[in-house]
Amino acid sequence: MLGRRIDRIEEQLRMEISEIVEREIQDPRIGLVTVTAVKVSPDLRHARVFVTVLGDADQRKKTIAGLKSAAGYTRRSLSKRLHHLKRIPEIMFDYDESVEKGMRIEELLEQIKSEEK
């Protein structure tokens, strides 16, 4: 039962944080960002927000730095939007490497296919 509640909270946080990053944060360091997942601790005190960034490694570093500096603003904005939560978790932004890993696996599979032919 508790697991389903945390899953719902994670999905709601993902949607709200996506909207906040897209519409409210005006930091010039932040480029095109997609919030891919949110993982919340069982006590709901901490949330890791996983993002992907369009651009090279330098742009990724700038964007993550901008998001980390805007974490306090994001948390305050969430507190205004999510009245039903007793406590709003501390937010930590991390780069989601799963997309790059998936693309690398696809490249390797294509390479194997071409070698077999």
What is the reported pLDDT for 1? 56
Parent domain of 52:
2-116
Tokens 């070698």 sit at which residue?
115
| Tally of domains within the chain | 1
For residue range 88-102, list pLDDT tens digits in order.
999 999 998 887 788
Amino acid identity for residue 63 in this structure: T
Spatial separation of the C-alpha atoms in residues 22 and 33, rounded to whole Å: 8
For residue range 18-61, list pLDDT tens digits in order.
999 999 999 999 989 999 999 999 999 999 999 999 888 899 99
Residue 47: φ, ψ to 5°: -135, 125
For residue 33, list its beta bridge partners. Answer: 53
Spatial separation of the C-alpha atoms in residues 25 and 74, rounded to whole Å: 8
- For residue 6, what is the domain's CATH number? 3.30.300.20
Segment 54-74 mean pLDDT: 92
Query: For residue 12, which of 109, 86, 82, 106 has the smallest C-alpha distance?
Result: 82
Q: Work out the burial of residue 13: count CB atoms within 10 Å of its CB; fewer than 13 is exposed, 13-18 middle, 19 or more buried.
A: buried
